[in-house]
Amino acid sequence: MMFHYAFAMRIRVIFSTGLLVALVLSLIPIVAFSAQKITPGGSCKVLNQKVVYLSKTYSCVKSGKKFVWNKGVAIVKPTSTSTSIPTPAPTPEVKLPNEGTLCTIIGEKVSNSLGTMRCSWAGHSNTAEEAKQRMQWRQFEVIKTSTSRSNNYPRTPVEGATCTSSGDTFDVAGGILECRWIAGKKLQWIKINTVKKIFTNK
């Protein structure tokens, strides 16, 4: 009985030792070869062994009667997933003031997808209070082809010609044209000179 027990224990020890040795041997080639220079086509010793060298994984393959390293496969690095920037909520569209309602700043404009309103001077006044009542929102057509400093027109206005919005200006040689109210409640382009003229004081 003691003989069988001793024999069984010896078999178990031999099996455990063999398993440990096999595990160690399976790890040794990887460590040994990973530190050496791998050349595609160079000789290797363990068939199907894989080694990582210079960002490639090389495998030991059989070529004829020899074991050689293959060309290797490049290691693909995982790309970091960038966190998407949240899209900001759309800004509510500006509401246009009603035509003819009072405004406070001559030339001020308010625009949205429906059009543009402009604070315009509606004509002559005798008192400050009456002047405030004549500052009103008017429909304003914006044309995108112009060299005007503050407004847009399809062509250069002419001094003395009729204009449409009080306070509008347009660059011209020697000054600017400004749209002003004149007698008869009419709007007309008036030239404002910016070039000083030399004269003799008699």
At residue 177, the 3 state secondary structure works out as strand
Q: Which of 163, 158, 160 is nearest to 138 (CA)?
A: 163
Count other Cβ atoms within 10 Å, centred on residue 113: 7
Q: What is the pLDDT of residue 188?
A: 92
What single DSSP character describes residue 101? -
> What long-range pairs does 167-170 form, CB within 8 A, spacing at least 24?
167/106, 167/107, 167/120, 167/121, 168/107, 170/146
Tens-of-pLDDT digits for all 202 residues of the chain? 544 555 556 666 666 666 565 555 555 444 444 456 888 888 888 888 888 888 889 899 988 888 999 988 888 877 655 566 777 777 788 888 998 899 988 888 888 888 888 898 877 778 888 888 888 898 887 655 444 555 666 677 889 998 888 888 888 877 888 888 998 888 999 988 766 666 666 5
